[in-house]
C-alpha cells in the first residue's frame, strides 16, 4: 500500500485510522507570523507589506480571532486580548495621530509592551517612524495592506479559520462524482482504489486515494477532503503497481479538494447480515463532530459498485435540489393505492394488478 510509504515518509503523524470516524480530530496549536505572511496571499487576493524588520519566526499566532485595540491604545488594558492579531484601521491610526507627540509615544509604548503576534494596518495606513521603532524594539512585526478593515478582517479570519480547523487523516478514497463529494471507506483489500480508478476512467475526478485528509471548516458542518501532499494523485493498484492519475488521465481527472457529502462504506458480503433494501432507513456517521449520510454496500463478485456509487451521487443531487427520495415516492404510491382500495366496497374493488392480455 502507498500508506506504507506515508508511514515512513511522515513519521511525525500518527497511524491512519481505517474505519474509526469517532477518533478525535487534531488541531494546530499555533502558526508562525512568517508562515502567515508567506501563505495568506496564496488563497486570497490579499497582500501584506512589511513596515519593519524583525524575527517573524519568533512570533506565533494561537487563535483565529482578531482584535481591534482601540481601548488598549487609549490606555484601558484590563481586558486586552493581546495574544490575537491586532488590526489598526482608520479609527485607531487617526486617534494616534491626533495625540501630541509625547502622549502618542507613551500610549504606543504601553500598547507594544504586550507580547502580541503582529500588527496589521489597513487601508494603507502608516505609523510614524518613532512608533515603528518602538514596535521593532519590542520585536513585533508590523504590516500594512491596501484592503479596508472589513475586507482585511474577512480574509485574515478565513485564513486562520482554515489553519486552526479540526482535521484528521483516514484510509480510503475520495472522488468527485457528478459534483458530489463521495468518500469511499472500508477494510483494506476490498478494492477502494480500483473503484476510484474506474470512476476516474468514467469521467469523474479523484481528490485523494489511500490517505484522505479531512478538515472541518471552522465551527460549520462542512467537511472538506484533500490529498496528502506526499502521495499526491498517485494510486497503487494490486497486480498493476503505481498509477499517476494526473499523467494518465490529465488535469480534468483530479481535484484539489472537495466537500464530503456522502460516505460509502464497502462491506464484505455475509449471508447472515441484513442489508438495506428500500433506502427508507437512512444511516449517518459522525466525522469530526459532523453527521454525514452513510451508504453501506456489500461486496461480492460480479457486483458493479462503480455504477452503484454513481447512483448514490445522483440520489444526493435529487434529494438536495428537488427533495425527491425514490423509496419515499414508492412508499407513498403504494399507500395511495391501498387507501383507494379501502375506500371502495369489496364488490367494486379491482385487483392491484390487471392485464387485459391475460383475459
Instruction: Give the mean pLDDT of 326-348.
Output: 75
pLDDT > 80? residue 71: yes
pLDDT > 80? residue 327: no
Q: Does 297 fall in a domain?
A: yes
In this prediction, residue 232 carries a pLDDT of: 84
In this prediction, residue 20 carries a pLDDT of: 62
Q: Are residues 202 and 317 in the same domain?
A: yes
Measured CA to CA, the distance from residue 137 to residue 151 in angstroms comes to 29
Q: Name the catalytic one among 59, 60, 64, 192.
A: 192
Q: Are residues 240 and 111 in the same domain?
A: no
Q: Are residues 152 and 184 in the same domain?
A: no
φ, ψ for residue 140, nearest 5 deg: -100, 120
pLDDT > 60? residue 307: yes
Percent share of the chain, pLDDT over 70 = 87
Surface-to-core class of residue 18, CB atoms within 10 Å of its CB (0-12 exposed, 13-18 middle, 19+ buried) = middle
**Band of residue 12 on the pLDDT scale cut at 50, 70, 90:** very low
Beta strand extents in the chain (DSSP E only): 31-32, 49-50, 60-61, 66-67, 85-88, 119-121, 142-144, 167-177, 180-186, 205-216, 223-227, 234-237, 241-244, 257-259, 262-268, 283-287, 290-299
In this prediction, residue 353 carries a pLDDT of: 55
Q: Are residues 100 and 136 in the same domain?
A: yes
In this prediction, residue 240 carries a pLDDT of: 85
In this structure, the number of other CB atoms found within 10 A of the CB of residue 182 comes to 28
Q: Annotated catalytic, 320? A: no
Q: Is 196 left (phi over 0), alpha (psi -120 to 50) or beta?
A: alpha
Q: Does 342 fall in a domain?
A: no
In this prediction, residue 325 carries a pLDDT of: 76
Q: Are residues 234 and 154 in the same domain?
A: no
pLDDT > 60? residue 188: yes
As a whole number of angstroms, the longest Cα–Cα distance in the chain is 108
Q: Could you tell me if 210 and 219 are in contact, meaning their C-beta atoms sit under 8 angstroms apart?
A: no
Q: Could you tell me if 197 and 226 are in contact, meaning their C-beta atoms sit under 8 angstroms apart?
A: no
Q: Are residues 109 and 190 in the same domain?
A: no
Supply the CATH number for residue 283's domain.
Answer: 3.40.50.300
Supply the CATH number for residue 66's domain.
Answer: 3.40.1390.20
Q: Could you tell me if 283 and 295 are in contact, meaning their C-beta atoms sit under 8 angstroms apart?
A: yes
Helix intervals (H) in 44-148: 70-74, 90-98, 101-112, 129-137
**Band of residue 343 on the pLDDT scale cut at 50, 70, 90:** confident
Query: Which pTM value belongs to this model?
Result: 0.73
Q: Does 336 fall in a domain?
A: no
Q: Are residues 174 and 136 in the same domain?
A: no
Q: Does 55 fall in a domain?
A: yes
Instruction: Give the mean pLDDT of 74-100.
Output: 94
In this prediction, residue 3 carries a pLDDT of: 45
Kindly report which listed range (42-51, 273-282, 350-359) carries the lowest average pLDDT score.
350-359
Q: Are residues 305 and 173 in the same domain?
A: yes
Q: Does 47 fall in a domain?
A: yes
Q: Does 351 fall in a domain?
A: no
Q: Which tops the pLDDT comparison, 78 or 20? A: 78
Q: Are residues 236 and 199 in the same domain?
A: yes
In this prediction, residue 11 carries a pLDDT of: 41
Q: For the chain, what is the mean pLDDT?
A: 85
In this prediction, residue 42 carries a pLDDT of: 85
CA angle 119, 121, 122 (to 5 degrees): 140
Q: Which domain holds residue 173?
A: 167-322
Which of 101, 129, 162 delimits the end of a domain? 162
Rg, the chain, Cα only: 29
Q: Could you tell me if 141 and 51 are in contact, meaning their C-beta atoms sit under 8 angstroms apart?
A: no
Q: Are residues 154 and 173 in the same domain?
A: no
Q: Are residues 177 and 149 in the same domain?
A: no
**DSSP type of residue 268:** E
CA angle 150, 214, 63 (to 5 degrees): 40
In this prediction, residue 13 carries a pLDDT of: 40
Q: Annotated catalytic, 192? A: yes
Separation of first and last alpha carbons in the chain:
63
Q: Does 335 fall in a domain?
A: no
Q: Annotated catalytic, 22? A: no
Kindly report which listed range (68-77, 86-95, 236-245) carries the lowest average pLDDT score.
236-245
Q: Does 6 fall in a domain?
A: no
Kindly report which listed range (3-12, 57-66, 296-305, 306-315) carries the lowest average pLDDT score.
3-12
pLDDT > 70? residue 16: no
Q: Are residues 143 and 187 in the same domain?
A: no
As for how many domains the chain has, the answer is 2
Surface-to-core class of residue 81, CB atoms within 10 Å of its CB (0-12 exposed, 13-18 middle, 19+ buried) = middle
pLDDT > 80? residue 335: yes
pLDDT > 90? residue 224: yes
In this prediction, residue 14 carries a pLDDT of: 41
Measured CA to CA, the distance from residue 253 to residue 230 in angstroms comes to 18
Residues 6+ away with beta carbon under 8 Å from 157: 64, 65, 66
Q: Name the catalytic one among 210, 227, 233, 258.
A: 210
Surface-to-core class of residue 351, CB atoms within 10 Å of its CB (0-12 exposed, 13-18 middle, 19+ buried) = exposed
Q: Name the catalytic one among 171, 204, 215, 227.
A: 171
Nearest to 33 by CA among 22, 48, 18, 46: 48
Amino acid at each position: 500500500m502507498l500508506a506504507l510509504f506515508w508511514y515512513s515518509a511522515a513519521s511525525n503523524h500518527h497511524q491512519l485510522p481505517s474505519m474509526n470516524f469517532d477518533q478525535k480530530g487534531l488541531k494546530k496549536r499555533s502558526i508562525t507570523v512568517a508562515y502567515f505572511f508567506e501563505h495568506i496571499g496564496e488563497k486570497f487576493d490579499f497582500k501584506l507589506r512589511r513596515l519593519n524588520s524583525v524575527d517573524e519566526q519568533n512570533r506565533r499566532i494561537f487563535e483565529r480571532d482578531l482584535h481591534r485595540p482601540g481601548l488598549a491604545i487609549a490606555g484601558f488594558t484590563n481586558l486586552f486580548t493581546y495574544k490575537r492579531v491586532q488590526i489598526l484601521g482608520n479609527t485607531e491610526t487617526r486617534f494616534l495621530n491626533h495625540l501630541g507627540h509625547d502622549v502618542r509615544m507613551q500610549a504606543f509604548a504601553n500598547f507594544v509592551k504586550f507580547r502580541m503576534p503582529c500588527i496589521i494596518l489597513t487601508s494603507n495606513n502608516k505609523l510614524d517612524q518613532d512608533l515603528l521603532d518602538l514596535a521593532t524594539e519590542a520585536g513585533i512585526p508590523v504590516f500594512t495592506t491596501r484592503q479596508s478593515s472589513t475586507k482585511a478582517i474577512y480574509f485574515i479570519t478565513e485564513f486562520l479559520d482554515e489553519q486552526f480547523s479540526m482535521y484528521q487523516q483516514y484510509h480510503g478514497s475520495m472522488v468527485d462524482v457528478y459534483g458530489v463529494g463521495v468518500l469511499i471507506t472500508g477494510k483494506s483489500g476490498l478494492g477502494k482504489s480500483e473503484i476510484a480508478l474506474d470512476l476516474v476512467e468514467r469521467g469523474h475526478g479523484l481528490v485523494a486515494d489511500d490517505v484522505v485528509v479531512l478538515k472541518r471548516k471552522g465551527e460549520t458542518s462542512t467537511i472538506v477532503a484533500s490529498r496528502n501532499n506526499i502521495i499526491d494523485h498517485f494510486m497503487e493498484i494490486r497486480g498493476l503497481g503505481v498509477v499517476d492519475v494526473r499523467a494518465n488521465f490529465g488535469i480534468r481527472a483530479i481535484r484539489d479538494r472537495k466537500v464530503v457529502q456522502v460516505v460509502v462504506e464497502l462491506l464484505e458480503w455475509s449471508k447472515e447480515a441484513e442489508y438495506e433494501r428500500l433506502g427508507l432507513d437512512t444511516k449517518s456517521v459522525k466525522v469530526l463532530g459532523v453527521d454525514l449520510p452513510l451508504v453501506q454496500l456489500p461486496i461480492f463478485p460480479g457486483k458493479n459498485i462503480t455504477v452503484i456509487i454513481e447512483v448514490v451521487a445522483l440520489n444526493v443531487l435529487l434529494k438536495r435540489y428537488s427533495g425527491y427520495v425514490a423509496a419515499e415516492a414508492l412508499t407513498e404510491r403504494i399507500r395511495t393505492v391501498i387507501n383507494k382500495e379501502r375506500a371502495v366496497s369489496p364488490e367494486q374493488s379491482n385487483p392491484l394488478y390487471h392485464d387485459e392480455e391475460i383475459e
